[in-house]
């Protein structure tokens, strides 16, 4: 009987593997169609100056409006897009679309606005990246300093020597570089010192339990000291409460992002917030 049990176990295992493989295949087919059918969309989340509270920029966050499944968040499809290589094409679309939107906001008088775009690991290592970035900027007549590219600490440190070369080229192109989800990877301080970056984004895992969690408070002040020593601006993500805002501002955090200041919104709704924000148009 143990033989038949083994057989059943094998069958069960195989069936679930096939089901999973089928699901992945469907997801990939759906992703390909989604490109054609223009089901992707960018949402924008405000980034505010810690001292003034004014909106200084927005982070573009990818969304998929699936005809059957509804709104799908990036964590559910970016890994598949990355495995299939489709992320390169999708990422190029994100860059172009974010730049187009930013230029539209500049035209409306918000000439100081900047936009941040997330890069995946594959996109970051792709030889066409610098060209795609320059192209998106030129086509939309944007100054490179208004575009920030976010790369996670984990991706940046995976092959640190290669990353330094890529970041140097992006730096030469004039765009700003943010190291995203900082504190969740394994940074070598020697490499961090040499990374041509402009910003560190403290991962929201360290922000969540502020101000009462003493370990997180100590880690956040250490990241701030480190970042400022290396002449980097330090941004906190995931700020949800006024207590967190006060705490991070008192510690010297430069800018803040989180639900307290706004959730990621479709471009027209973000624009509405921009129009009604106290800061008003910068007047170009
Ligand atoms: P990320 O770049 O670290 O983006 C921050 C994530 O935290 C976003 O999730 C955002 O909606 C969420 N968030 C912001 N403020 C708060 C808050 O106060 N509380 C909480 N609980 N969450 C907050 P989202 O939009 O689901 O994106 C997840 C990740 O997917 C991003 O993490 C980024 O790594 C990736 N991603 C998003 N858009 C793109 C894209 O266009 N290309 C690539 N390659 N990756 C992207
Ligand atoms: Mg990001
Ligand atoms: Mg992040
Ligand atoms: Mg993240």
What per-residue confidence (pLDDT) applies to 28? 87
Find the 150 Cα to ligand 2 centroid distance in Å: 6
Distance of alpha carbon 27 from the chain centroid: 22
- Structure confidence by residue, pLDDT tens digits, 79-97: 999 998 999 999 999 999 9
- Structure confidence by residue, pLDDT tens digits, 100-130: 999 999 999 999 999 999 999 999 999 999 9
Give this prediction's pTM.
Answer: 0.92
Is residue 183 in contact with ligand 1, taking CB distance under 6 Å? no
Mutate to test the pocket of ligand 1, among 74, 115, 155, 184 (most ligand atoms within 8 A of CB): 74
Residues 182 and 223: their CA atoms lie apart, in Å, by 9
Is residue 202 in contact with ligand 1, taking CB distance under 6 Å? no
Residues 235 and 254: their CA atoms lie apart, in Å, by 6
Is residue 119 in contact with ligand 1, taking CB distance under 6 Å? yes
What per-residue confidence (pLDDT) applies to 280? 45
- Structure confidence by residue, pLDDT tens digits, 214-269: 999 999 999 999 999 999 999 999 999 999 999 999 999 999 999 999 999 999 99
- Closest ligand 1 atom, CA of 43? 25
Residues 212 and 86: their CA atoms lie apart, in Å, by 43
E-assigned strand segments in 67-121 = 70-72, 114-118
Q: CB of 259 within 8 A of CB of 222?
A: no
* Mean pLDDT (whole number) for 137-143: 97
Is residue 118 in contact with ligand 1, taking CB distance under 6 Å? yes
- Closest ligand 1 atom, CA of 61? 38
Asked whether residue 7 carries a pLDDT value surpassing 80, the answer given is no
What per-residue confidence (pLDDT) applies to 9? 53
- Structure confidence by residue, pLDDT tens digits, 49-67: 999 999 999 999 999 999 9
What per-residue confidence (pLDDT) applies to 23? 81
Asked whether residue 5 carries a pLDDT value surpassing 60, the answer given is no
Find the 104 Cα to ligand 1 centroid distance in Å: 23
C-alpha distances (whole Å) from 163 to each of 17, 75, 123, 170, 194 are: 36, 23, 12, 10, 10
């Amino acid at each position: 009987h143990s033989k038949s049990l083994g057989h059943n176990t094998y069958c069960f295992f195989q069936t679930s593997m096939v089901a999973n493989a089928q699901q992945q295949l469907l997801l990939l087919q759906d992703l390909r169609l989604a490109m054609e059918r223009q089901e992707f969309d960018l949402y924008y989340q405000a980034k505010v100056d810690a001292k003034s509270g004014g909106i200084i920029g927005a982070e573009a966050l990818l969304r998929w409006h699936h005809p059957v499944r509804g709104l799908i968040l990036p964590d559910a499809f970016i890994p598949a897009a990355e495995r299939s290589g489709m992320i390169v094409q999708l990422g190029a679309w994100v860059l172009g679309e974010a730049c187009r939107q930013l230029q539209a906001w500049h035209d409306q008088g918000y000439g100081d606005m900047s936009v941040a775009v997330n890069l995946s690991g594959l996109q970051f290592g792709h030889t066409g990246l610098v060209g795609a970035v320059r192209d998106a900027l030129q086509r939309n007549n944007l100054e490179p300093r208004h575009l920030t590219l976010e790369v996670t600490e984990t991706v940046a440190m995976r092959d640190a020597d290669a990353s330094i070369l890529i970041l140097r080229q992006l730096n030469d192109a004039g765009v700003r570089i943010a190291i995203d989800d900082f504190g969740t990877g394994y940074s070598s301080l020697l490499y961090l010192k040499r990374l041509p970056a402009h910003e560190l984004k403290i991962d929201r895992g360290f922000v969540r339990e502020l101000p009462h969690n003493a370990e997180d408070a100590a880690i956040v002040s250490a990241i701030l000291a480190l970042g400022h020593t290396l002449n980097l601006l330090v941004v906190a993500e995931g700020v949800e409460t006024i207590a967190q805002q006060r705490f991070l501002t008192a510690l010297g955090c430069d800018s803040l992002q989180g639900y307290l200041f706004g959730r990621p919104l479709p471009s027209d709704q973000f624009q509405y917030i921009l129009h009604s924000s106290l800061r008003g148009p910068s007047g170009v």
